[in-house]
Chain A
């Protein structure tokens, strides 16, 4: 083979490999699904499983939040779809919401999921047109989750028990 061809193809392959290594260090994927999904989304071939997503929505609307998250995780194993991540965060919010207090662990996970959804959305703006929800944008959901994590005097307000879950 001609030397320039070897050098040229070797250079291209090395730069591509170096880009993959740099991407791995930058994004810190935790599972093989996240690695493959990340590469697929870079080349634009990543797709959410529609059946699993529909299952997730059905569980979500039936207040079966653990089952909903399992189905949504199956629909978006690489955590690359902003809408699915929005529903994951919403499932954490609804499960963690309480009249007397909210579950900080679930709200913390919800905040991480909605941050992921915002990071994935184009321009950081995400709106979901779902009549079942009372918060349609990721910003509202994020603010609600953050309010739930903050401890202040309003936590001791007895009128809090009259509040409603969104």
Chain B
């Protein structure tokens, strides 16, 4: 991996994602830090990346590297953790049953990914599907159920739905730009994850001697 990618590009990408994913648009702009559970999910995502070989920590932090190079590697790892936690926090609904179910959904998917131990390409595909589906769920499906309706019929149906679910499904209305911002942040995050230093492929045990049959 080139020095420019490690020292400039990856921190720039992950810090930008950390910034954008925390932005909550509304009457004003708020920067919302990740919840404790988002930090747990972020840790699991990092573990999954390492197990799948999509991230090789020894190529970022190692005794054989210079102090400056290790400092660059540390910045990449810390900013990756911040970005991962913030993206997962951004995709989680703010309240009610959707908050609970999406948290469980993300937790189970990440545990499954950890246990299945896919290779790098499959993990990146799986990550894109997880983040994409959570994006659609929060910013398309839930936003459509919670957004201000235009016609009277739609408002009546929304009120009936809200009453039938005891108000546990509907969320606070999203700002029009929130979905676009989330889409951009996820795209940037996936580009950054794809550019991480991957584990070197196993060479098939070169140098090992096979035991001759008796």
Query: Which chain A residues have a beta carbon within 8 Å of chain B's beta carbons?
Result: 3-4, 6-11, 13-15, 17-18, 21, 24-25, 28-31
Interfacial chain A residues near B79, Cβ < 8 Å: 14, 18
Task: Assess whether B31 is in contact with A7, with CB atoms less than 8 Å apart.
Answer: no
Interfacial chain B residues near A9, Cβ < 8 Å: 7-8
Task: Assess whether B15 is in contact with A7, with CB atoms less than 8 Å apart.
Answer: no
8 residue pairs of the A-B complex, CB under 8 angstroms, read A7-B3, A10-B6, A10-B7, A14-B7, A14-B12, A18-B15, A21-B15, A31-B28
A7 and B18 in contact, given A14-B75, A18-B79, A24-B31 (Cβ under 8 angstroms): no
B interface: dominant SS? helix
User: Complex Cα distance A31/B29, Å?
Assistant: 8
Q: Which residue of A lies closest to B4 (CB)?
A: A6
The answer to whether the Cβ of B71 comes within 8 Å of any Cβ in the partner chain is yes
Task: Assess whether A7 is in contact with B33, with CB atoms less than 8 Å apart.
Answer: no
Task: Assess whether A25 is in contact with B4, with CB atoms less than 8 Å apart.
Answer: no
Within the complex, the shortest CB–CB distance from B173 to chain A, in Å, comes to 19
For the complex with contacts A6-B4, A7-B68, A25-B22, 9 further pairs of A-B residues with Cβ separation under 8 Å are A10-B8, A11-B71, A11-B75, A14-B72, A14-B79, A17-B11, A24-B31, A28-B31, A29-B29
Task: Assess whether B31 is in contact with A13, with CB atoms less than 8 Å apart.
Answer: no
User: Complex Cα distance A14/B69, Å?
Assistant: 13
A interface: dominant SS? helix
Task: Assess whether B11 is in contact with A3, with CB atoms less than 8 Å apart.
Answer: no
A11 and B22 in contact, given A17-B12, A30-B29 (Cβ under 8 angstroms): no
User: Complex Cα distance A10/B2, Å?
Assistant: 12
The answer to whether the Cβ of B36 comes within 8 Å of any Cβ in the partner chain is no
7 pairs of A and B residues whose beta carbons are closest in the complex:
A10-B7, A14-B11, A30-B28, A10-B8, A25-B31, A6-B3, A7-B7
A10 and B15 in contact, given A28-B31, A30-B28, A30-B29 (Cβ under 8 angstroms): no
Q: Which residue of A lies closest to B29 (CB)?
A: A30
Within the complex, the shortest CB–CB distance from A46 to chain B, in Å, comes to 20
Task: Assess whether B12 is in contact with A28, with CB atoms less than 8 Å apart.
Answer: no
CB-CB contacts below 8 Å: B1-35 with A: 3-4, 6-8, 11-12, 15, 18-19, 22, 28-31, 33
Interfacial chain A residues near B68, Cβ < 8 Å: 4, 7-8, 11
Interfacial chain B residues near A21, Cβ < 8 Å: 15, 18-19
Residues of B in contact with A, size category: 20 to 34
Interfacial chain B residues near A3, Cβ < 8 Å: 3
Interfacial chain B residues near A4, Cβ < 8 Å: 66, 68
User: Complex Cα distance A10/B1, Å?
Assistant: 15
CB-CB contacts below 8 Å: B53-82 with A: 66, 68-69, 71-72, 75, 79
CB-CB contacts below 8 Å: B169-203 with A: none
Within the complex, the shortest CB–CB distance from A152 to chain B, in Å, comes to 33
Interfacial chain A residues near B28, Cβ < 8 Å: 30-31
One of A11, A17, A25, A28 near B7 (C-beta < 8 A): A11
Interfacial chain A residues near B29, Cβ < 8 Å: 29-30
Q: Which residue of A lies closest to B19 (CB)?
A: A21
**Chain B 78-122 interface 0/1 with A at a Cβ cutoff of 8 Å (1 = within):** 010000000000000000000000000000000000000000000
User: Complex Cα distance A4/B3, Å?
Assistant: 9
User: Complex Cα distance A29/B75, Å?
Assistant: 25
User: Complex Cα distance A9/B4, Å?
Assistant: 10
User: Complex Cα distance A14/B7, Å?
Assistant: 8
Task: Assess whether B7 is in contact with A6, with CB atoms less than 8 Å apart.
Answer: yes
CB-CB contacts below 8 Å: B139-192 with A: none
